[in-house]
Amino acid sequence: MDVSRETSPPDAAEAVFGDHVSAISAYVDILADQGVVRGLIGPRELPRLWERHILNCGVMAHALDPGATVADVGSGAGLPGLVWAIARPDIEITLIEPLLRRTTFLTEVVDELRLSNVTVFRGRADEAKGQYDVVTSRAVAALDKLVRWSMPLVRPGGVMWVIKGSSAQSEIDVSLSTIRAAGGTNPRVKSYGDGVVETPTTMVTIDKVG
């Protein structure tokens, strides 16, 4: 298989990442190589890396406020945290991940790409310190669990962003009591990337009571 052909950036990459296409392409190349070797990305995902993972995360990076502080809970291979860090060098991102092999990978990527706006924290969300403007996660757990793990890390007046699929609204409906108990309010579903990518990204947004 020609990996370079599989991971070459699609037309939408420039619209989403602008001047940072070369940097995000370097990250994709690492995912397609060491990400697969280390079991962080399945080999069947290679043809879908850009559309299903990179663009899926990247289309909402523009919505982050300038200079925002962000925590990515259960960062895994760096999705969405590393994608946002590359797309938005002005923000500060902490990647929270409990597994050593994943934090080792994340640290190596940060060093190789010279990302000065990224901190890697090995541990669970309830072991992390500080509060953030935005706390995000993707493909980690059901919404009610994510609210319990993530909302304590959101500063008052901040927001929790969870990348979800078609079940987003139903997950909100069954998690309303958990959201309220955690200090969350105004849960809603937003869509990003319409007209830019083939499948827009669905995200649950929950505000933290100020």
The pLDDT profile of the chain, 210 residues, written as one tens digit per residue, is 444 445 788 989 999 999 999 999 999 999 999 999 999 998 888 888 998 899 999 999 999 999 999 999 999 999 999 999 999 999 999 999 999 999 999 999 999 999 999 999 999 999 998 999 999 999 788 999 999 999 999 999 999 999 998 889 999 999 999 999 999 999 999 999 999 998 899 999 999 998
Strand order, beta sheet including 201-208: 118-122, 92-97, 69-73, 132-138, 154-164, 201-208, 184-192
Q: Is 74 annotated as a binding residue?
A: yes
- 119, two tokens: 């901190």
List the beta bridge partners of residue 136.
72, 161
- The whole-angstrom separation of Cα 37 and Cα 20 is 25
Name which of 137, 75, 72, 73 is nearest 103 in CA terms. 75
- 88, two tokens: 């938005």
User: In the chain, where are the structural domains located?
Assistant: 59-208
CATH code that applies to domain 59-208 = 3.40.50.150
The secondary structure element, H or E, covering residue 119 is strand 118-122
Q: Is 38 annotated as a binding residue?
A: no
Q: Is 106 annotated as a binding residue?
A: no
Contact in structure between 57 and 201 (CB atoms under 8 Å): yes
- 209, two tokens: 């009571």
Q: Max alpha carbon distance in the chain (Å)?
A: 52
